Amino acid sequence: MLRKNLPLFMQYIIANYFGADSGTEQLNWILMGQISDGLIVANQSIKYRTFKEINHACQLFESPILYEQYKHIIRQIRTHFPMSQINCALIANILLFHTTGCTRLTEPYLVQNMFEEAKKLLDIGQMLEENSPSRIRDNLEYLVHLLHQMDNIFGNSLVCPDNSLESSTIPLDTCMVHAAAEAYWLEQKLGYLQQDYQSVLLPANFLHEYILLSSGKTNGYPSESFMDKWLRLTKTRAKCLLNSSMTFCKLDLPAQTKIWSRNHMAGVALSLVHLNSIHMSGKRQLKNILGYLGKDSNWEAPFATILDLGSLQPVRLSILNCGILDRESLIFFDKLVREMSPLLVEERLFQLFLLLVLLNPEGLELDPNALTYLLKIRQYYLALFQRKLNSVKSPAMKYSSFAETTVKLRVFGKLLELFLIRDY
C-alpha cells in the first residue's frame, strides 16, 4: 500500500507547491507545514518559482502535451481542494489507507477500518482550521482520481519523454525494423502499465481450483462459479490496465464511460483467446493467471516445492463450458483462436493488442477532438504492433484485419456474458 499510495501524496505536495501564492508558501509545502516563524522572517525574499521555471531547469516534461496536462490538473486541485499545510499529515494518512478494486490486501477489513478513522480525523482537522473549505472527504474519490492522473503523466514522462505517442519519433512505417531503442521503450511502457494489472487480488479459492483443473483433476470441477470468477478477474485487470494508460486518462469521464462500456467485454474475450491460444502451455497459462506478463521468473518460487510446473496442462474453454455455449459458439471461438494465435506469440504483443481493443473508438459518438486523438493513437499502436510482430515472426507476418477482428471479439464478448452469475 505504501508503494502504491505514496506517489499520490507526493503529487498532492507538488500540486500545492506549484499552486502556492508565494515563495514562502512554496517552502512551507516542501517542509509540510514545519516552517518556523523565525525562518519566515529571516527569508522575506524567498523567490517564488513557477512551474515553467522548474520544468525548464529540470527537464521534467519535454513533451508540451504532458506539460499542459500536468499543469491543468494542478490548477484543478488548487481550485477544488484548497487546504493549508497544517493538515498535511491527515491527508497523508487518508491517502495511505485508500484502496481500489485493484488493491491486493491480506487484511482488507483492517485497512477499511483504518481508512474510515482517517476520514474522521480529516473532518476534525478541517473543523479546527479557521476558514476551512468544504470537506475534502465529500469529493475524496475525485481528488484521488486527479492525483492518479498526475502520477501517470509524471511516471510516463520519466519512462519516455515522448510517451504521448504523438511525435514523429514514433514512425508509422510498418516495414521498419523494431529497433533496440523502440524495444526498450515498449518494455518500459508496458512494464509500467502492468503494475496495477498484476496487483489485482485473485478471487477466493480460484487459484486452488485452477491448479486442480490444470493438473487434470476434473472430478467435480469446474464449479458453477469458476468461469464467473475468471471473467470478473479478467475484467478488473482490463480496467486497471486502462486506468494506468495515459491515453485513457486524458479523455473526459463521458468518453471514458462510453469506451469502457463498449469495449470491455471484447477485451475479456481477447484475454480468453490468448489463454487458449495454440502455443499456450500449462506453465505459461498459470503465469498469466497470476498476472505476470513480462520476463520475470520469480513467480515460480512459491510453487517449486508443491507442483511440477512442467506437467501442468492449459485449461481450455471446452473444459469450462459446462453446456453454457452451444456447438456453433464453440466452433466460432476455436476458429478465432486459430486466427489470432499467430498474433499473440508473445505477452507484449498481447498487451499491445489488448490496449488497441480497449481504446478502440469505432462505433462511438465522441467529441471530434477525442475521436481524432484516439484514431491517431490507434494508428501509432498498430504500426508499433506490426513492427513488434515482424521482430518475432519469421517470415514476417502482415496483419491488416484489426476492424474485422474487433467485431468478432465483441460478438464473442457478448456470448461470454452467459457465464456471469450476477450482472456486471
Question: What are the domain boundaries of the chain?
Answer: 2-159, 180-419
How far, in Å, CA of 277 to CA of 106, rounded? 33
Q: Which of 306, 265, 267, 310 minimizes the C-alpha distance to 287?
A: 310
Q: For 19-33, 116-130, 216-230, 344-358, which range has the lowest pLDDT when averaged over its residues? A: 116-130
pTM of the model: 0.62
Using 50, 70 and 90 to split pLDDT, how confident is the model at 423?
very low
pLDDT at 311 over 60: yes
Q: Would you state the torsion angle of the CA atoms of residues 247, 250, 252, 257, taken in this order, to the nearest 10 degrees? A: 30
pLDDT in tens, 81-97: 877 776 778 888 888 88
Q: What is the model's pLDDT at position 260?
A: 94
Q: What share of the chain is helix, strand, coil (3-state, %, to 5)?
A: 65, 0, 35
Using 50, 70 and 90 to split pLDDT, how confident is the model at 220?
low
- What angle do helix axes 2-19 and 23-30 make, rounded to 10 degrees? 170
pLDDT at 5 over 80: yes
Q: What is the model's pLDDT at position 162?
A: 37
Coil, strand or helix at 278: coil
Cα dist. 50→1, 19, 20, 226 in Å?
32, 9, 9, 54
The burial class, CB within 10 Å (0-12 / 13-18 / 19+), for 318 is: exposed
Preceding peptide of 222 cis, ω within 30°: yes
CATH architecture of 180-419: Orthogonal Bundle (1.10)
pLDDT in tens, 236-271: 999 888 887 878 888 888 999 999 999 999 999 999
